[in-house]
Chains A and B, each alone.
Chain A
Amino acid sequence: MTATAKTEPEARPASAVEAPPKRRRAAATLLGVVLTGLLALGVLVSASNGAFAIPIGDLLASVGHRLGLPGSPIDGTGESVLWNIRFPRVVLGVIVGASLACAGALMQGMFGNPLAEPGIIGVSSGAAVGAVCAIAFGFTFAGNWTISLCAFAAGLVTVTVVYVLSRSGGRTEVVTLVLTGVAVNGLAGALIGIFIFYADNDEITAITFWQMGSLSQATWPKILAVAPLALIGLALAPTYGRRLDLLALGERPARHLGVDVERLRLHLIVIVALLTGAAVAVSGVIGFIGLVVPHLVRMAAGPGHRLLLPLSTVGGAAVVVWADLAARTIAAPAEIPLGILTALIGSPFFFWLLRRTRRRQGGWA
């Protein structure tokens, strides 16, 4: 108690121990600038490239025109390609990438485990079950929002189940988490299989393509259907930064420091479900973004969640926008499903992380 302190030992000058966080903060600022720049550049390059090339100058002029600034619409089909095909796709990429990376960072903090990720532990597939169910049975009870809401609801159930199953004594062992993911992914795959079995041919094509993960379905109405979920989740996530830091000490020590752990857990489950539902509803399962992006940010800017969450959000958006550009230009005129591309790059990273985690913890603990 400061009030009752009788013998206050002389305080050391704070500067002696202040240096490292300052360096980290500088690294974080730099990273934030770089990631934002990469995202902005990615949006421009991605919107201008494709089967129908639109010079960046014309693109900016068209955007300026629509914003009421000096500029002019693009002649011919360019204007329509840009506003009805390219921009929806890029915007969806930003939403999906930001949501997945933010959800990954939240889950890792919540499980106290760097391997937690919506794809690996089965939350994405869980949300996918809800979305596929809505597609296969042609649900329309909430109009345009139906698929998003079904994905969110199924995601919510899955996060809760995984959380309850994989925790013991206030922490999550790597093995338990990964094996729970195997089980949940297996069950989700079976359920999706059942829906496909009962679906007709058109629906099967829709489901199959969607299942591989792709931004090609992007349209403005679909974006409007997922954007609210994503925006609510993304806006709320950073407010949990400090509490997630404390959670790194374990549940009891976090409670000792004044965190209402039960309530925090409940809130985080809902936010993760919102973000995963938003990411999965239109674009299907795009894996490993939530694993790779927060991990790289942590290496550069430290593990503090107050920086990790916003930086991962921007970083995830940038990565998905660039990855989608690659997915649709590498094998042009064909298009590689984005989910397959991210899995190709993400899986080896997961192997590496798994081995490193094992080495650090001296076994599969």
Chain B
Amino acid sequence: MRIRRRRATDAGAVPDRPAAAAGLHVRLGGKEILRGVDLDVRSGEVLGLVGPNGAGKSTLLAALSGDLEAASGGALLWDRPIGDWSALDVARRRAVLPQAHRVSFPFTVREVVEMGRAPWAGTTRADRDEERIADALARTETEDFAPRPFTSLSGGEQARVMLARVIAQDAGLVLLDEPTAALDLRHQELVGRLCRDLAAEGRAVVIVVHDLDLAAAYADRTALLSQGRIASCGKPAEVFTAERLGGVYRQPVKVEPDPDTGAPRVTPLRRIC
């Protein structure tokens, strides 16, 4: 047991580069999942992680969130190796939305969102708990469920409540693993806009997303992962070329600009027999 007990500090303002991966290698069960990833996460920006299944998107997110140890290289948080921070210090700087949502006991939706405030207990920021919780419920359109037990909600509703919990945490770095996976059309767009709003507040947002159109529409930058490496990183319009996507996904696609927004729109080439 550790005797030394460091006082957790307030996170302060978000630096320009709240998180980064440097020469990051991660091994899981003997297999090398990430093979040398360099990536800067910048404040005020939405970064989309895209790529085929098994490319290492979720692993990269888990390494950035401090869940996984690097085999070599490492993940930085506020310019320090993430493992050097205490759990509480990390929690005051980054929030994570995991892929699976589970709550063991019938806590109400409000109570679940309130859990997001835990890192601030006993600090001056706790004075704003009520305000932050109400705000998070409103922004995810979950206020109507507030008194209901979390376990009684549908999958998509649960996903939004968990997102509300992440927003309530009020962290400078927000890591979202497939936040739109279980959501309907309206709420996918809601989450997209929400990510933009969070970035506009000065936070850094990283989302793992499968829907390339969604990434193209809402991300400032996208990193395309392929077999544990970053195949390309930059503005969606630069990264999403028919040739590159076709190669990485092993599926021919066509890319054309959306007539309304100008963002690239990716359509698989289908042969209907």
Contacts and interface: CB of A to CB of B under 8 A. Distances in A.
B104 A112 contact: yes
A171 B101 CA distance: 13
A11 interface: yes
Interface stretch (A138-146, A254-262, A321-329): A254-262
B153 interface: no
A14 B130 contact: yes
B107 interface: yes
A1 B202 contact: yes
Interface in A241-260: 242, 245-250, 252-253, 255-260
Contact of A257 (B1, B91, B108): B91
A255 to B, nearest CB: 6
Contacts of A359: none
A258 to B, nearest CB: 3
A5 B44 CA distance: 10
A258 B134 contact: no
A147 to B, nearest CB: 28
A266 B88 contact: no
A11 B134 contact: yes
B73 interface: no
Interface stretch (B27-35, B117-125, B239-247, B253-261): B117-125
Nearest to B11: A1
B92 A258 contact: yes
B172 interface: yes
A303 B139 CA distance: 26
Contact size class for A? 35 or more
Contact of A113 (B13, B104, B125): B104
B71 interface: no
A168 interface: no
B202 A304 contact: no
Nearest to B112: A249
Contacts of B115: 245-246, 249, 257
B45 to A, nearest CB: 13
B57 interface: no
Contact size class for B? 35 or more
Contacts of B12: 3
B134 A245 contact: no
B87 A255 contact: yes
B268 interface: no
Nearest to B12: A3
A334 interface: no
A interface majority secondary structure: loop
B203 A258 contact: no
Interface stretch (A15-23, A77-85, A88-96, A214-222): A15-23
Contacts of A261: 87
Contacts of A298: 105-106
A209 B92 CA distance: 55
B16 to A, nearest CB: 11
A303 B105 contact: yes
A249 B102 contact: yes
B72 to A, nearest CB: 23
Interface string B172-211: 1000000000000000000000000100111100000000
B137 A21 contact: no
B105 to A, nearest CB: 4
Contacts of B107: 245, 248, 302-304
Interface string B1-22: 1100000100111100000000
Contacts of B133: 14, 17
B260 to A, nearest CB: 24
B195 to A, nearest CB: 14
B223 interface: no
Contacts of B77: none
Interface string B90-105: 1110111010101111
A340 B130 CA distance: 49
A112 to B, nearest CB: 4
A268 to B, nearest CB: 14
A57 interface: no
B222 interface: no
A21 B129 CA distance: 14
Given A17-B143, A242-B121, A6 B202 contact: yes
Contacts of B89: 258
A257 B143 contact: no
Contact of B202 (A4, A14, A113, A247): A4
B116 interface: yes
B104 A7 contact: no
A258 B105 contact: no
A5 B110 CA distance: 23
Contact of B65 (A2, A16, A256): A256
B108 A302 contact: yes
Contact of B201 (A6, A108, A303): A6
B138 A9 contact: yes
Given A3-B12, A9-B197, A20 B88 contact: no
Nearest to B117: A257
Nearest to A17: B146
Given A17-B137, A245-B107, 5 more contacts: A1-B202, A12-B137, A16-B134, A249-B103, A303-B105
A-B pairs, 6 with minimum CB distance: A258-B91, A4-B202, A303-B105, A20-B147, A112-B104, A258-B88
16 contacts: A1-B11, A2-B125, A4-B13, A11-B131, A14-B130, A17-B110, A112-B104, A242-B118, A242-B121, A248-B103, A250-B98, A260-B88, A261-B87, A266-B1, A302-B106, A302-B107
